[in-house]
A = this chain, B = another copy of it.
Amino acid sequence: MSVKNVLIAGAWRPSLDASDTFSALNPATGKAIDETYPVSGMKDVEAALRAGHGAAVALLGMPDRVDRVAAFLDDFASRIEQHADALVAIANEETALPVTPRLKSVELPRTTGQLRQAAAAVRDRSWTMATIDTAANIRSYYAPLGGPVVVFGPNNFPFAFNSVAGGDFTAAIAAGNPVIGKANTSHPGTTRLLAELAFEAVRAAGLPDAMVQLIYRTPSEVGFALVSHPLVAATGFTGSKSAGLKLKAAAEQAGKPIYLEMSSVNPLFVLPGALAERGAGIAKELFESCALGSGQFCTRPGLTIVPAGAAGEAFVAEAARHFEQGAPGTLLGRAGLSSVADGIAELKRAGAEVLVGGSPIPGDRLSFQNTLLRVSGDAFLANPHALQTEAFATVNTVVVARDVDQMVDIARSLEGNLTGSIYSAESGDDEPAYRKIAPVLRQKVGRLLNDKMPTGVAVSPAMNHGGPYPATGHPGFTAVGIPPAMLRFAMLQSFDNVRHDRLPVELQDPNPTGSMFRRIDGRWTTDDVAR
């Protein structure tokens, strides 16, 4: 059986030093897919880093870099659309995510839309935050890092967060950096096909060949060497906390920036008035949100906090009915299946009671019962860390708190999360409770929602798909949203007394596009610098 090629330095060629091979699994059948991919060693990694560094330097020297990068992003989006059927087919085989609506009508258009938003942001140039102090003649902006960015994609979004085509890839490329994609090992074929299209677009745009490179997998030590290598500029990682923390330690020890999106239980508070007004509707919404993508969304609510009493009990019963009746989805891989079981075991050990589900479903298909757990507010507060264990499937733990004050205490005991949601009465009855809980929850989460489930992550400039540790590695950055996500892959460059014709066009007196926003002497404007 032939082993697939890696894409390094502009060539699809065999791994130089594969220590092993692997195949993906079809989660719907539990059977290995008949394609074999190499596990790359240091030779591949070194070659990719050298080529990526060369590409970064060449790119900085291209006077029309911005146009070429924007053209690449648009063209790559078009090529993805032209090959949508093939992409959707292989992604479906590797992930068991439904062809429609999910892959074809939702995730693929989101991915191409994000690429095109990035192309527009690149052409617009406002993302660089050009800042001009005319009195001191000091000017600054955000510029490419000057080296390759490594992207580790997660298993749960084969297009939208793919290490080739997804959010980190797009942000890093748009900021002017080459990318070395490390495929998620659950969908190497999807990633390979995306990389083929990306590489065609690289060629068509006249970008350096090593603008996009692809390896599939490495032993852990090689991964650590990759993110801490002198030639790497930065890393974007989306995945498990255990893998993320190890990569974080390796990268940071070498002084290399790494952006991580690791884990989140996305707490959801239902206030008494909302429960009374529309508890049943919220229970239905909760289940639907939990079941999206078989519960494998980073922003799936994993923890629901309700006050005790008749309305709380009715809510729990209604939620249980939905979890019981809903069709269990297919999980992405065997490791996920066992880690869900481990997570639920941990929640039970910590005092949670299983109301619905709790077990894997026998058979070839990788599936786990929809699972609803329950725990009292007292028990939660006695063991908050263990009761925030993530179980990445259609799993939710309802915390029945004694009263609103205990809901505040629970908010205070939370770790950093991507999102936090509060459902409150339309009537205004919940305002006092909201004012107690929201300020506490606000500091624990990247995105605060009202009366809305967190599973939708709009590609908006105002999005924060980020949050305090351990949801991510830094509370100031978002992984979704153009242009803010691009700033992760840029360096601040100041020019002090630099002669005018030597400045980047973004910082010269005339506005380079006529419409770019720049901060000139404290005012954001599209004007030229007055001479």
Contact = CB atoms under 8 A, between A and B. Distances in A.
Given A133-B460, A474-B257, A496 B448 contact: yes
A346 B493 CA distance: 31
Given A140-B464, A487-B476, A448 B61 contact: no
B476 A492 contact: yes
A497 B461 contact: no
Interface in A450-466: 450-452, 454, 458, 460-464, 466
A276 to B, nearest CB: 18
Interface in A213-248: 248
B253 A458 contact: no
Given A450-B502, A458-B136, A442 B493 contact: yes
Given A447-B496, A458-B136, A476 B464 contact: no
B524 A136 contact: no
Contact of A498 (B131, B448, B469, B488): B448
A449 B139 contact: no
Interface in A110-143: 126, 131-133, 136, 138-140, 142-143
Given A249-B253, A443-B146, A448-B498, A477 B458 contact: no
B257 A475 contact: yes
A125 to B, nearest CB: 13
A478 interface: yes
Nearest to A515: B523
Contacts of A476: 142, 257, 487-488, 490-492
Given A126-B522, A419-B496, A446-B492, 7 more contacts: A138-B462, A142-B476, A145-B475, A446-B494, A475-B491, A484-B492, A524-B524
> What are the 7 A-B residue pairs with the smallest beta carbon separation, nearest first?
A524-B524, A255-B469, A464-B494, A146-B443, A475-B491, A447-B494, A138-B462
